[in-house]
Amino acid sequence: MVASTLPVNGIELCTETFGESTDPPLLLIAGAASSMDWWEDEFCRRLAACGRFVIRYDHRDTGRSTSFPPGHPPYSAVDLAHDALGVLDALNVHRVHLVGLSMGGALAQRIAVERRHRVLSLTLMSTSPGLGSPDAMPLTEQSEPASSPQPSPPGEASPPSQPAQPAPSAESTPPVESPDEPDWSDRRTCVNRLVESTQELGGPFTADEPHLRRLAERIFDRTIDMAATQTNHFCCADGTPYRHLLGTITAPTLILHGTQDPFFPAAHAYALESEIPGARLVWLEGVGHEFPPMAVWSQVIDEIIGQAARGRQPA
């Protein structure tokens, strides 16, 4: 693992890489309020062992990257997408396999629409079409596309028959100050909140509490300002709409979605599949709205690595 702080778009972004720089590059884009730590070290090492140059980074306002005053982010979702491209530019990477989760999936969609020539393949995890854009899919949307999805191939999980209702979450609405707002500068309070929120949005394969606690402690200890982390991504401007352009995506696209995601029910995954030409939807059985738990690492890694070779599927 090689760590560095890169000058990107007038700020500094903390970045780590795994594997050989001569291998095909793969960029991991985390969700809102999430530092790169959520892409666990061993997960990244396993991806790299499959012949990928794996890149992860702290979004601005997370981890060791530049932080701004809580509640006053001088940037938009477009800037967050440009940060991902800036990391690639700083590493002299022109074309990349993109993997984005939740908000990171939205940033990956925007890049795939606006910088199609830079995307070798696209993997969208636990996300929704147009997320973070004024034309985003409503969280209450429960209907499936008019055309019924094809049965899952053998070995893949079947889609959930009764999508769950979205649960309250830190990603549902911008945080507001209130008497119940935790003191994000207090280590114990912050760690407890991170563990609890992960468990609430997870499923039966979510890591156990000791594992989550160690991860949350690491995140707290290397974050410049946890209050900014927990606030700014939710109150920055959305940026220009792009959902209506998803049909122009040319990169082979894989959608990985948990069958127990309480935040983005099944309809969000179906919508992505129908709006991106040739997209392939794979269900992660027993997974909630979370970074891939260890129980599905082998499946997720096999799908990501196989995506580039698989190419476009018939629409």
Identity of the residue numbered 132 = G
Residue 279 inside a domain? The answer is yes
Count of the separate structural domains present in the chain: 1
Among residues 7, 10, 65, 11, the alpha carbon closest in space to that of 35 is found at 65
- Which residue in the block uniquely carries the two structure tokens 């500094």? 12
- The helix (run of H) or strand (run of E) holding residue 254 is strand 253-258
Burial class (CB in 10 A: 0-12, 13-18, 19+), 195: buried
Residue in 308, 298, 253, 257 with CA at minimum distance from that of residue 123? 253
Task: Give the single-character DSSP code of 94.
Answer: -
**Catalytic residue set:** 102, 261, 289
Q: Is 8 among the domain residues?
A: yes
In a domain, 315, yes or no: no
Q: What is the pLDDT of residue 309?
A: 66
Q: Per residue of the chain (315 residues), what is the pLDDT tens digit?
A: 889 999 999 999 999 999 999 999 999 999 999 999 999 999 999 999 999 999 999 999 999 999 999 999 999 999 999 999 999 999 999 999 999 999 999 999 999 999 999 999 999 999 999 887 777 887 654 444 433 333 333 333 334 443 333 333 334 333 334 446 789 999 999 999 999 999 999 999 999 999 999 999 999 999 999 999 999 999 999 999 999 999 999 999 999 999 999 999 999 999 999 999 999 999 999 999 999 999 999 999 999 999 866 644 333
Enter the tokens of residue 223.
């974050």
Contact present, 46 and 35 (Cβ < 8 Å): no
In a domain, 141, yes or no: yes
What pLDDT is attached to residue 58? 98
- Whether 101 is covered by a domain: the verdict is yes
Full domain range(s) for residue 135 = 2-310
DSSP 200: H
Q: Which amino acid is at 153?
A: P
Question: E-strand spans in 172-211?
Answer: none
Tell whether 29 is covered by a domain.
yes
Question: CA 142, CA 68: separation in Å to the nearest integer?
Answer: 36
Question: How much is the pTM?
Answer: 0.87
CATH number of the domain that 121 lies in? 3.40.50.1820
CB 34: neighbour CB atoms within 10 A? Answer: 25
Q: What share of the chain is helix, strand, coil (3-state, %, to 5)?
A: 35, 15, 50
- Kindly tell me the sign of the dihedral angle through the C-alpha atoms of 53, 120, 89, 111: negative
66 domain-assigned: yes
